[in-house]
Amino acid sequence: MQFATVIIAFVALATSIFASPILEEREIKYCAQQPYDPTKYTCFQGKYLCPIENGIVYQNCQIACYNPAAYACKNGQLTPVTTCAGQPFDKNSYVCINDQQLCPINYPNLCGKACYKTSEYKCVNGALQQV
Q: 10 falls in which pLDDT band (50, 70, 90)?
A: very low
* pTM score, whole prediction: 0.51
Is the C-alpha dihedral spanning 67, 68, 71, 77 positive or negative? positive
Q: 27 falls in which pLDDT band (50, 70, 90)?
A: confident
What integer pLDDT is reported at residue 22 of this predicted model?
Answer: 63
The span from the CA of 40 to the CA of 53, in Å, is 7
